[in-house]
C-alpha cells in the first residue's frame, strides 16, 4: 500500500509540474524563452522545436532574439511563429529574428486569467481522479483482506492529505500566475 501512496504522489507532482510548464508558456507581457517551447518549425522536413535549432536570448524585458544555428532556417522559423497562436510578428535582419512582445490589454489579461483558471481546474480534476484511483486500490485490498480495516482507513486519510496538499499547490501556482498576468 505504501507503493500506491508513492505512485499517487508521483503522479500528482507530475500533474502540478505540467501545469507549471503550461503556465510558463503563457504570454504575460514579458519576454521569456518558454514562450517558444510549443512552436515547431520545419527543419528539413522534420517538425522541430525552435529552441532546438537556435539560441534564444532575452536582451530586454519585452524582446526575444532568436539566432538560428543554420541561417537558412530563418524563413521556416518566421513562418512557424506566424502560424503559432502567440500573436507576435517576427522581424528578421538575415542573421537573427527579433520578437517584440506587445503589452497586454486589459481584455487580453482577463481572457488569460480565464485560461489560467480553466487549466487550474483541469489540474484539480486530475488530482482528484488520481485520489479516486488510489482509494479504489486501497478499498480493493481491504475487501480481499490484504490489509486491516485500520490500515485501510489510515491509507485513505493519507491519500486525502496528499490530495489536499497538491490542490493547495495548484491554487498557489494559479494565483501567482494570475498576479503576474494582471500586473501592469
Look at residue 182 and tell me whether its pLDDT is greater than 90. Answer: no
Mean predicted confidence (pLDDT) in 140-159? 90
For residue range 10-52, what is the model confidence (pLDDT) as tens digits?
999 999 999 998 887 776 667 778 888 888 998 888 898 988 8
Average pLDDT value over all residues in the chain: 88
Look up the pTM and report it.
0.70
pLDDT band of 61, cuts 50, 70, 90: confident
107's CB contacts (< 8 A; 6+ apart) are none
pLDDT computed for residue 38 by the predictor? 82
pLDDT computed for residue 86 by the predictor? 76
For residue 54, count other CB atoms closer than 10 A to its CB: 22
Unique residue bearing C-alpha cell 522536413: 45
Least confident interval from 102-116, 121-135, 169-183: 102-116
pLDDT computed for residue 21 by the predictor? 86
DSSP letter for each residue of 76-134: HHHHHHHHSTT---EEE-SS-EEEE-PPPPHHHHHHHHHHHHHHHHHHHHHHHHHHHHH
Sheet holding 90-92, edge to edge: 54-60, 63-68, 97-100, 90-92
Least confident interval from 73-82, 117-126, 159-168: 73-82
pLDDT computed for residue 24 by the predictor? 78
For residue 100, count other CB atoms closer than 10 A to its CB: 13
Q: Which domains does the chain have, with CATH numbers?
A: 2-24+105-182 (1.10.132.20), 33-100 (3.30.1360.40)
Which percentage of the chain shows pLDDT scores above 70? 98
Least confident interval from 22-31, 87-96, 98-107, 135-144: 22-31
Amino acid at each position: 500500500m505504501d507503493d500506491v501512496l508513492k505512485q499517487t504522489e508521483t503522479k500528482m507532482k507530475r500533474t502540478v509540474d505540467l501545469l507549471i510548464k503550461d503556465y510558463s508558456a503563457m504570454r504575460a507581457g514579458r519576454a521569456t524563452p518558454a514562450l517558444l517551447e510549443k512552436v515547431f518549425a520545419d527543419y528539413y522536413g522534420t517538425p522541430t522545436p525552435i529552441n532546438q535549432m537556435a539560441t534564444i536570448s532575452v536582451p530586454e524585458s519585452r524582446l526575444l532574439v532568436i539566432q538560428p544555428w543554420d541561417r537558412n532556417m530563418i524563413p521556416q522559423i518566421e513562418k512557424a511563429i506566424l502560424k503559432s497562436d502567440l500573436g507576435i510578428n517576427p522581424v528578421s535582419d538575415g542573421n537573427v529574428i527579433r520578437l517584440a512582445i506587445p503589452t497586454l490589454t486589459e481584455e487580453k489579461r482577463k481572457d488569460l486569467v480565464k485560461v489560467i483558471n480553466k487549466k487550474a481546474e483541469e489540474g484539480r480534476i486530475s488530482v482528484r481522479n488520481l485520489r479516486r484511483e488510489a482509494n479504489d486500490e486501497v478499498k480493493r485490498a481491504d475487501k480481499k483482506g490484504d490489509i486491516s480495516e485500520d490500515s485501510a482507513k489510515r491509507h485513505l486519510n493519507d491519500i486525502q492529505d496528499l490530495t489536499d496538499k497538491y490542490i493547495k499547490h495548484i491554487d498557489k501556482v494559479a494565483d501567482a500566475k494570475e498576479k503576474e498576468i494582471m500586473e501592469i
